[in-house]
Amino acid sequence: MYGWNGRLLRVDLTAGTVREEEISPWVLKGYVGARGLGIHYLLAEVDPACDPLGPENRLVFATGPLTGTRAPTGARYVVTTKSPLTGVLTCSNSGGFFPASLKKAGVDAVVFQGRAAEPVYLWVDDGRAELRPAEGLWGRTTHGTTDALVGAHGPGTRVACIGPAGENGVRFASIMNDRDRAAGRSGVGAVMGSKNLKAVAVRGTGKVAIHDPDRFGELVKGYLDRFNDTYRDEPPPLRSHGTAVTVMGTQNTGIFPTRNFQAGQFEQWEALHGETLTERFLVKARACFSCPIACGRVTRVDEPGYEGEGEGPEYETVYSLGSDCGVGDLAAVTKANYLCNELGLDTITMGATLACAMELAERGLLPEADVGRRLRFGDARGLVEFTRLTAFREGFGDLLAEGSLRLATRYGHPELAMVARGQEFAGYDPRGEQGMGLAYATSPIGASHMRGDPAYIEILGVPTLIDPHEWRGKGELVAEWQDTFALIDAAGLCVFFTIRNLVSPDRHIRPTGILELLNAATGAGYTLEELERAGERIFNAERLFLVRAGSGGEHDTLPPRMLEEPMPDGPAKGMVVHLREMLDEYYRARGWDARGVPGPDKLRELGLG
């Protein structure tokens, strides 16, 4: 077999056993890998009504056929499970070097089931796998756990693990790999903690077998040559200033979320901009496996009270911990980011939940006695303090650990939680970017820009620029982007390179470059239509899980602020999200009924009947 290993590890934590299973060639071709494999096993084996933190839930780690290859940015894996934050599906994506090591160890996927009686970790050594005790690791930070396992198993060991947040059941706990890379969203770390699974440590020294090495090498060289020619005179902006360079774009278009999305421009935006991060704190850029971009930021802060060193912050972090909380102190934002990485917290939900709490407090809806201190927008010290308290569920941190929707509901105002399906928005106010509003509302994991990111066409002009204020025609476009992103995730690629280099350059994106690489790597002989159908199959399988979990079209919605409160100022002044109009077009484009449910004909067409 080429590209794929055809091998799955099934880990029964209750029984303490690990066994190998073959993965059907039809499943591999039909679901491609990574995100596709995750939903295939979740849909087949998990009751959508189960308790996300109960032993009956599954946790799936899966790589793609291009993970661990020379394909540019072939460095991704996906964690799929039922989310404790949203109560439905999540598939959280991460890069670094851990995914490539897992693939090179001969594993396409690991399915965890049950719950261990005592803390354990999984050790995978070039195909041999066993569970080992983790009592000495429980309670350690993600950095401490990683260092301990690398020390125990030697150089070349790659680790994915949880920190105290996952152990303590924080509903938005992340899984951290390679110290500072995060499968961050929706509480995958809490599911791992509920299973008493502290870490997965891997040593993979094999090679991914390629069907046509000459053709594959020729394709890789061609894509990299074109990339290098584009940036011959200066490095890529993401290498120079990281994803936080996006701040200027969202600020200038009036969609930079500010003070819990009450506004779309932040007066201190320049203090949070990627160029400022470079000037003040950058040590060096860092790349994931097989990545020519190197958008990772190794940073160091020496300012008193905020000292630390690590990776980040990225754009989504400077929005959530910065402008959304009214905090323009980049040192405080960076320190809170370090804490999120070390303790295992999703930075987006952490910041957005605190922003929600700040608005509740400023409106007099959250008693100061419940918080233990005065809480207001712009509280840089509080930002750092409450991040730490949340991970350990101490004091007011115990309420923050539930996420913004549960927090706001507790105080009688769920409308102040900026969420879709219970998950907090990314760093784009959808009132000024209509396609993003539709993407948030219909994302299978709750609000997420990474399940089909319209910001590329609405803000960045990649591959072409579409009016962000126009809602007509967005239904079909968003559906196409969502299906293509499903393919990118399934193949094991990063969107940053793929969207600019591996899809056709028009508004109706087609995965032509992904097709070439997959066929050279796997020999599967995909046609373009078959590959596009695979992306549609993955997305519809995810939708089917949502519907079975009780989260259908009635949950394709946004908070009243987005639908009824016009943007107060800036380039998007007066705008609201025209969601209903876009949803009607979107359902038609997808072939779903008026309730947003895939019908029998659509399911049979996709092999999901």
**CA distances (Å), origin 469, targets 204, 316, 395, 462:** 48, 22, 42, 17
**CA distances (Å), origin 293, targets 103, 181, 221, 223, 240:** 22, 16, 15, 13, 9
Identify the pLDDT of residue 358: 98
Give me 443's structure tokens.
């994302």
DSSP line for 477-502 = HHHHHHHHHHHHHHHT--HHHHHHHS
Torsion of CA 314, 79, 354, 446, to 10 degrees: 100
Do residues 480 and 471 touch, judged by C-beta distance below 8 A?
no
Fold of 7-203: Aldehyde Ferredoxin Oxidoreductase;  A, domain 1 (3.60.9)
Going by pLDDT thresholds of 50, 70 and 90, the confidence category of residue 394 is very high
CATH class of 424-605: mainly alpha
Amino acid type, 122: L
pLDDT in tens, 58-100: 999 999 999 999 999 999 999 999 999 999 999 999 999 999 9
Structure-token match 């261990």, residue found? 116
Identify the pLDDT of residue 92: 97
Question: What's the rounded mean pLDDT across residues 585-606?
Answer: 96
Identify the pLDDT of residue 34: 98
pLDDT at 258 over 80: yes
Do residues 438 and 416 touch, judged by C-beta distance below 8 A?
no
Closest CA to 145 of 160, 125, 124: 160
Going by pLDDT thresholds of 50, 70 and 90, the confidence category of residue 509 is confident
Going by pLDDT thresholds of 50, 70 and 90, the confidence category of residue 186 is very high
How far apart are alpha carbons 259 and 251 in whole angstroms? Answer: 14
Handedness of CA 370, 372, 378, 383 (dihedral sign): negative
pLDDT in tens, 330-380: 999 999 999 999 999 999 999 999 999 999 999 999 999 999 999 999 999
Identify the pLDDT of residue 118: 98
3-state secondary structure 276-320: HHHHHHEEEEECCCCCCCCCEEEEEECCCCCCEEEECCCHHHHHH
Residue 334: in which H helix or E strand, if any?
helix 330-343
Identify the pLDDT of residue 227: 96
pLDDT > 70: what percent of the chain? 100
pLDDT at 507 over 80: no
Half-sphere exposure of 374 (CA within 13 A, CB side): 4
Torsion of CA 472, 473, 477, 482, to 10 degrees: 50
Closest CA to 181 of 100, 69, 258, 300: 100
Average pLDDT, the chain: 97
pLDDT at 283 over 90: yes
pLDDT in tens, 432-450: 999 999 999 999 999 999 9
Do residues 307 and 332 touch, judged by C-beta distance below 8 A?
no
pLDDT at 462 over 90: no
Identify the pLDDT of residue 238: 96
Question: What's the rounded mean pLDDT across residues 280-306?
Answer: 98
pLDDT at 286 over 80: yes
Give me 341's structure tokens.
């990485």
Structure-token match 């994106």, residue found? 509
- Sheet bearing 296-301, strands edge to edge: 282-286, 296-301, 308-311
Do residues 115 and 195 touch, judged by C-beta distance below 8 A?
yes
Is 236-423 a domain of CATH 1.10.569.10? yes
Rg over alpha carbons for the chain, rounded to the nearest Å, is 22
The structural domains of the chain, with segments of one domain joined by +, span: 7-203, 236-423, 424-605
- Residue 303, classified by CB atoms within 10 Å of its CB into exposed (0-12), middle (13-18) or buried (19+), is middle
Going by pLDDT thresholds of 50, 70 and 90, the confidence category of residue 225 is very high
Going by pLDDT thresholds of 50, 70 and 90, the confidence category of residue 137 is very high
Question: What's the rounded mean pLDDT across residues 392-402?
Answer: 98
Closest CA to 24 of 8, 12, 11, 35: 8
Do residues 518 and 526 touch, judged by C-beta distance below 8 A?
yes
How far apart are alpha carbons 604 and 609 in whole angstroms? Answer: 4
pLDDT at 174 over 90: yes
pLDDT at 508 over 90: no
Task: Give the residue, 520 or 127, on which the prediction is more confident.
Answer: 520
Closest CA to 352 of 272, 426, 256, 451: 426
Closest CA to 52 of 81, 21, 94: 81
Beta-bridge mates of residue 285? 297
Identify the pLDDT of residue 504: 83
Q: How many CB atoms neighbour CB 308 within 10 A?
A: 19
The verdict on whether omega for the bond into residue 84 sits within 30 degrees of 0, i.e. cis, is no
pLDDT at 506 over 90: no
Question: What's the rounded mean pLDDT across residues 514-526?
Answer: 98
Residue 584: in which H helix or E strand, if any?
helix 579-590
Residue 59: in which H helix or E strand, if any?
strand 59-63
Structure-token match 């995060």, residue found? 182
Kindly report whether the global pTM for this prediction surpasses the value 0.95: yes
